[in-house]
Chains A and B, each alone.
Chain A
Amino acid sequence: DGGITQSPKYLFRKEGQNVTLSCEQNLNHDAMYWYRQDPGQGLRLIYYSQIVNDFQKGDIAEGYSVSREKKESFPLTVTSAQKNPTAFYLCASSLQGSDEQYFGPGTRLTVT
């Protein structure tokens, strides 16, 4: 089955700890994205990568970091510098030259 997986679905962390969210796709898509969604808000772009070993900041990159060492994987690290990390995090991917993005099931992160 082709698709995008994110794990875990629910994640709990203490304030001050870094945490890494996983995103894997076997769709052979070139581009991958991380979004954050808060209640009553739209999706906001954190980081995106159009090709392996390259990525760009989105609109709210502060307090986050990413890597793109493999085409299939685009992990997101939420650092202790992120002031309000509790949110629903969505990963997406798309084919280069195609505009449609396919979304993973999301990870709900709660930091207390």
Chain B
Amino acid sequence: GQNIDQPTEMTATEGAIVQINCTYQTSGFNGLFWYQQHAGEAPTFLSYNVLDGLEEKGRFSSFLSRSKGYSYLLLKELQMKDSASYLCAVNEGNNRLAFGKGNQVVVIP
């Protein structure tokens, strides 16, 4: 079975930093994706972590701890356009991804 848990919603102020957590228990693990999805649109790729540690890419960073079944996405210098749902997805192998429910981030001025 699979269990991927994310908080449902958070609000943050423009310019702030927000951390979105994801915990997982899955039958297989080959890596963890973070996607951004604006309402009514397709998810777009943000990051992919295979090994433990922090991966930094501009304003976005993603962290993985495989022993703890835990990842987080860090968004810095928040902008209004960052208001979106952030999806955590575990690569279970065989090209299959298992998605969490997504965390809705609302950025306010």
Contact = CB atoms under 8 A, between A and B. Distances in A.
A41 B8 CA distance: 10
B63 interface: no
A50 B44 CA distance: 21
Contacts, number: 50
A34 interface: no
Prevailing SS type, chain B contact patch = strand
Interface residues of B, number: 22
A103 B42 contact: yes
Given A40-B8, A94-B95, A105 B42 contact: yes
14 contacts: A31-B95, A35-B99, A40-B101, A41-B101, A42-B100, A43-B89, A45-B96, A48-B95, A94-B95, A99-B33, A99-B95, A100-B33, A103-B44, A106-B42
